[in-house]
Structures are given as C-alpha cells and as structure tokens.
Chain A
C-alpha cells in the first residue's frame, strides 16, 4: 500500500516507512541515540529526495530526544551553563548548515555530498562501536583508565567554572563543539548525540551524570532550531512523512524499553556496529556503481 507524500511529491510504500521508523525507534531505544544518522541515509536509499530526507529526519530527531530531555530535566540532570554555550555554537552551526544545504542543493550535487558524508561518518561510527565493544573487556580487566587527556582545547582563553559539571574550561570549548554539532544537524539532519557524548566526556572532561541530560537537551534545542530553519529556508519537511516517522519511531523506542532487559546489549552492540557498516557499504556502493540512468531531472 502506497501513500502520497505531499511535499516530496512522490508516493511510497507505507509499510516500508513504518518498518523503517520502528527499526530506527527500536535502535534509538536500545542504544540511547536519536537515530538520525540511520534514518536520513535510509530514507534517501528508499527513494525520498535527499533534502526532504534531511529536513524530515530533523523532526524525528527532535521527537526522540525531547522525551529524554524532559525526563532528565525532571531529574535535574542538565548542566544549563554548559548547554547554553553548546546552543550558542549550535545556533551558528545550524544556520550555516541549513544554508549550505540550500546552496549545495542548488548545484545538484547534494546527493553526492550526503552519500560521501554519511558513508564516512557511518563507517567511522561503526568502526568506533566495534572497537569500543572489543576494548570493553580489556578496560574492565585493567580496572581504571584515563578519562580525558589535556589537549589544545584546554588552552583556550575565557575560562569559567561550570559548577554542575565541576569543570574549569574556556567557554570556547563548548561553543566550538556545539558549532560542529549544529553544522551536522543543519546540513544532514543528524542530531549528533553519538559524537557529542564522546566529545563531552573525552574532550571537555565531563564526568557527572549530567552528560546524557545535557547532550539530549542540546540536541532537542538545536534540532528544534534546525526544524524551524529547514521549513523557513528550504521548505523540505514533509508533513505526512514526519507524522509516520514520529509515530513509528516512538512505538519502536517504547518496544525497545520493554525488551531491553531481555537482550544482551554487549552482543547487540556488535550487531549494531555491523548494521551501520552495511548501511555505509550500501551508500559507498551507490557512489561506485554504474548508474542505471545517466540523466536525471529535478523540476524546480
């Protein structure tokens, strides 16, 4: 059964979209991720125009991160000082990301850029997950490990105290990280939690429980900014596709929360790593294979 997507101006199999949304929600529920970095490339591979996939994924990221953010707000697990600077950088990054999407879309090269970008980022993430899964046992045996190394980011000026996170670092550190996460959200629709959390732990040196809450709050606000900008600037958010993704991914996440105790997460982490590797391989294959059609047309 197909459904017509009014903004994408195509009809697409509704069961395919529901399965996709459920799977993304399920994975996000299991691993605490927004799922944008899987949703966006899979939607493009399913035939949704690239810019529509990016814009619509952003609202799905917003939906999946907002519930978590509200939960952490209630538990007072958000470092508002830190999130303020992250959002400051995130806002600038999102604006540049959204306008870059518009500019590159106008050249007709958006699919090339996104495929290369997703393939790179998914491959790196998959390798990171597989590496982390393999390293976990070694870490457990050694008992302790150095949480973060002092790098150039700690030499930046304008240092202030972040009381909640018990840190004394430059305001530029979260602004720079926030900027790159915002750029990612605006340009690709990805929430960036899988990059932000390691950055907060390994680069900023956050150790408290507020890492996840702060990260989720930042993703919620930045994805909301991105949703507004995508609609105002690119008009690339499909209402029907968004509703299907929000509903199915929420149900998938709820299902994951019921099954999480019955599943061995360590084993699943490896499977998840391989799944991401398969998706990135598909994207690489799309770039390398001889196209079926040598000419395509976009009606503007």
Chain B
C-alpha cells in the first residue's frame, strides 16, 4: 500500500512538473515554444508543381534540389522569419508529381509573395559605356547575352604563377552555339572595353575584353569564395530556374483570423474540459476526481510533447487535441464501470479496483487500436497539411491516453483504495455512481 501511494505521489509531482514546464516555457524567448501553423499564426502556403518533362530522369533530384535552393534564396531576400521551402513527391496516389512547398509565416500578401518567388535569378553580360576620354564607367548597356545561353558552367581554380591569383576560384562558362556566336561578336567588336557581368542586376565582375573570344568559352573571375563560386555554377548550370514551375495551390490566412482561431480554440478547449470535469465529478464522485487529475496530467503531457517534438499546431490539430480530451476519459470510464460491477458482485473494494482494471484493459487496448489505425492511415494518405496535422495530434493523443490510463489512473485509484478491513459505507458510496441500483437486471 505504501509503495502504491509513494508511486502515486511521484506521479503527481511529475505531472505537476510537466505542467510547470509547459506553463513556464510559454514566453517568446523560451527554448520550447508552441509552434503554430499558418492557419493560426497567419501566413502564406504555396504549392508549386515542377515541370520535369524536359529533365533527364537521372538529373531530376539535383534539378529539384537546385530549384529549392534558388527559391530559398528568393524567400530569404524577401525577409521572412522561419520560412520553409521543401521538395515533395506526391507519391503514387498523386501521380508522382514533383512539388515544391513554400511556407511564409507572417506574409499575408499573396501577390507580393508570388512575385518575389517568381522572379528568377538572372545572369547578364552588359557592356560598359564610357564617358568620352575618361575611363569612368557611366552606364552598362545590355548586350542580349544572358545566362539563358549558358550550356554548362564549371568551377575551376586559377593556376597562375602570381601569388595573389593562385587558387582563386574561377567560373568557366560554355555557351551554346547561339550564345557562342553572340559572345564572339561582342568580344570582337569591343576589344579593350569592359564587359560587366551582372547577377540579379548587381555587378559581380567587370573584366576587360583582351581579345576576341571565338570558342564560346568565358572565364569569370570575380571575388568569389569557393562557396559562392560553387553556388553560382550550380545556378547557371540549371539556367535561371532549373525547371519551370507552376503555382497549383495557395493558401493565405490573415493574422487576425489566425489569432481569433487560436483564442477560440483555447476557449472551446477549456469549456470542454470543464464540462467533462463537472460530469465526471457528478457521476463518478471520488473516482471522477481521480479521472480529472489523470486528465489534467494527460493534457500536460500532450502539450509538453507538442513542444518537444515539436508539433506544428494547426486549427485541425487543436481540434484533434480537444477531441482527444473527450476520448481520453474513455479508459477511465471503462475502468470505473468495471470496478463498480465487481463491487456489485460482492468483491471488496481493493480487489474490485484491481479486477476492474485488469478486465477493462483488453477493451482499452482494442478500442484505442482502432483509433490508432484510423489515425495512421489518415496521416499516410491524408495528403494535405491540415489532415496530417490532425492525424498526428490525434495519434499522439490516443497513445498518451493509453499511457496515462495504465499509469496515472490505475496508480491513483489503487492509492486511494481502502484496505479490505477498513472498508466503510462511505468508501463504497464514494466509489458508487449517481444512480443507485441502476442497471441491475
């Protein structure tokens, strides 16, 4: 008995500790904040479909990787905190399409976001226009030669004898036939002039044309670090955007709607919890109290898991959590009803609790299994972030509820149990139900 009560005490302290962790780590600067999805925090969710029909099958992965990098850089320029850019394969059901998911928290202007992402990196060669006799560059004039004509780019390192040039990263461009023609014409006509190389409108290198270059190979030596050179090579190799993309689905939620949804969910959850607690006390009395404590610990563990994994909470996810609160009571109800039956069968209280739990366990296990099956299938086949968010929270909820039923509810009930000798009418009453004699056939 002492051992059970000690365990119960430890469980209560642990539960309170978890609750404290959830409560105290709720500031903005905490290490484990709740993570809210776009429908709660406001933001834009974009799904692009990549047209990979022109990509050789072996290159698809690297093309998609390059696409993600290009878009990621675009998004970063956009100045969003914690953006998400990820590649997704739609699987057999979706016909194996290659997609790119872009999430922009806090961005609610869809058009602005789409525009920023749609702009593709651009490599241009522009001729410097010089002001009469002075060598000051006044302006650069477009030559019509762009990254579009680059067939292949590769990274090289300078091998010159001059110490300052040695091992400097170089980018070697191979133009396609049209690009080579243009490049030859430009370099032939403008020997001695500066040919500026622009990336996204910014000058990255301004070499002087020393002689006509007929073979369509250009070497760019900007002030590259090996990393930046590598990046540029990758971008150039895949053209501007490596593959054409098309916006197939978008969702934007205003911050006010998200905030309202969050507050409404919390209020709804609290009312639901209060109603359940009231019902448990009225109907089950003392065991009802135990169930409430178990339920509170259940809520605390769940919230802690949401923080630690972390689970991105959405409107549907919160609904799943609230639903799971209602369902988590089930295990307790099964145990209590069974215990009451054993009591009616004439067993002493302690034994009745023991038996009640033992017999209820099979039902608890089987019934939760069916919910887990549903949840896993939903997560697997759900397709949208909404459904996945719902399913994940739902499955976590069911698993935690099984855990709290076998640990918390059981231990607390046993700890409250009265020795068979000291059993009184009060104890039996406290373990009884609201309607005496009900259900006896």
Q: Are A and B interaction partners?
A: no
